[in-house]
Amino acid sequence: MAQDVETRAMQRPACRIHYLYRGSASGRWAVFLHGAGADSQSFAPQLRAVPADVGILAWDARGHGRSQLAAGTPFRYEDMVDDLYALLDEHHIPEADFLGQSMGGNLAQTVTRRSPERVSRLVLIDCTDNYRRLWPNEKLGLALSKATLKVWPWWWTVAVTAAACGINPKTQVYTAKTMHNLGKRHFLEVMNYWSDAHVDDNHRLGRPTLLVLGTLDMTGNIAYAMTTWPLKDPMAKLVVVPWAAHMSNRDQPWLVNRSIRKFLQWGEDRADADAAEAGREG
């Protein structure tokens, strides 16, 4: 965990949002947005790499981790978007670098389109493009995946998802634990986020963007979307991470952190810390 990080909470409609926070001494901020079924700890290897003068905001999105929804309250993507704006405003964060994995990357894209002045740079890890036109077979695949998730036994959904998220056993154990915490009903609701996030218009984000893709990420259309993304957007740069699946930032933290530090200009003087991270997470 990064030094001087506090655990805080903020009351929002039908949910108390828990998050990790550290003030900024430089005016720079890093906002971490985790994927569906995960929580703020999915970025534990990256939080240790943030320079001491950079502020940190890393939440458990509503319905995830410690941010439990009130009984009978469904998960809605737009509620999550509103929560994020409320947190940014609460801490007077006018602009930040956003780092999002999977669903968190889609959320970061939504904020970039609606409020580009609040986004300096983007790091999008193993997520698809909100604004790429989908082929008919992709639309069919999304519809079939929703139907499949409904009929699969929950234990099987957890097992398959954990295997898809990581080749590192620690990544798989982490994923299974956070998914069990979320539960099947909320997981099915959360997985509808893509329908709310996607707009079929080939919009360009207009911000320097680092795309991080695990070579073994076979989830949905992510590999195709990320590898073709730079053809649409010249401000997007793709980094492919070997021997990493859907949660490449946990499967290969040393390689991912090295790319993030270079892109966000966090310095290149933490080789020893990188080696320690590789040992702890591997």
Q: Tens of pLDDT along 73-128?
A: 999 999 999 999 999 999 999 999 999 999 999 999 999 999 999 999 999 999 99
* Cα–Cα distance for residue pair 121/97, rounded to 1 Å: 5
Q: Is the pLDDT of residue 272 over 50?
A: no
Q: Is the pLDDT of residue 266 over 90?
A: yes
What tokens were used for 178? 């956070």
Strand order in the sheet with 119-125: 6-12, 15-22, 55-59, 29-33, 96-101, 119-125, 209-214, 236-241
Strand pairing category for 96-101 and 209-214: unpaired
Check: CB of residue 15 under 8 Å from CB of residue 69. yes
Check: CB of residue 96 under 8 Å from CB of residue 88. yes
Q: Is the pLDDT of residue 16 over 50?
A: yes
What pLDDT does residue 271 have? Answer: 47
What tokens were used for 61? 């999105």
* Cα–Cα distance for residue pair 222/124, rounded to 1 Å: 11
* Cα–Cα distance for residue pair 180/39, rounded to 1 Å: 12
Q: What is the mean pLDDT of the chain?
A: 93
Q: Return the H-helix or E-strand segment holding 23.
A: none
Q: What is the pLDDT of residues 140-185, one digit of tens each?
A: 777 778 788 889 999 999 999 999 999 999 999 999 999 999 999 9
pTM over 0.75: yes
